[in-house]
Amino acid sequence: MIRLGMSSDPYWIDLVDGVRVRVRPCDTAVYQAAKLAGINAVRDAQQALAGVRDAGGTVMGLSLDDAAEIAGVSQFGLVKALARLAILEWEGVGDDDGNVLPVTAANVEGLMRYHDIADIFVSKYTAPYADRVREGNGSGPSPNGTSATGPNTAPDAGKAVPPVLTESPV
């Protein structure tokens, strides 16, 4: 059974070192918009690097020909978009002089450049949906799994022998 009682109230997520963010709930609209941003980030990066390659150069040795690099760009695009769409306010985020920074797209993206913070944010922000997936729809596999070995009910049976052809099949 799927429960439709998803709250629309913003809530706080504790990140690290006194940093916490107040977010809107992650619904389908937010998640799909962020996914599209991740796809667009890959396309944009590929186009930019193709221009550099065409001119005979490289960008920090990256070619984006490698699937892991492409996946990293896509994931970073998704993380930045999720954070931009979700974060309404924050505490514990400041500039080099200790001045509190406002929540802006550029500042949110700056915060997500710290991989530990980005990992915690995504994990905690998407947790309600991961929990729903783990909960399933009532027809998941049994606790022992579907591939558990059953008891041997014919211990004295010999191995199966393939049949012998007595006539030519042609």
Burial per residue of 81-118, b for 16 or more beta-carbon CB atoms within 10 angstroms, e otherwise: bbbbbbbeebeebeeeeeeeeebeeebbeebbeeeebb
In a domain, 53, yes or no: yes
Helix (H), strand (E) at residue 76? helix 67-86
Number of domain units in the chain: 1
Cβ 21 vs Cβ 13: under 8 Å: yes
Residues 35-92: pLDDT tens digits? Answer: 888 777 777 777 776 776 677 766 666 555 555 666 677 778 888 989 999 999 999 9
In a domain, 104, yes or no: yes
In a domain, 127, yes or no: no
- In a 3-state reduction of DSSP, which class is residue 89? strand
Out of 5-14, 46-55, 116-125, the most confident range is 116-125
Helix (H), strand (E) at residue 14? strand 11-14
In a domain, 75, yes or no: yes
**Host domain of residue 47:** 11-119
Q: Nearest CA to 85 among 136, 138, 126?
A: 126
In a domain, 129, yes or no: no
Q: Is the entire prediction scored with pTM above 0.95?
A: no
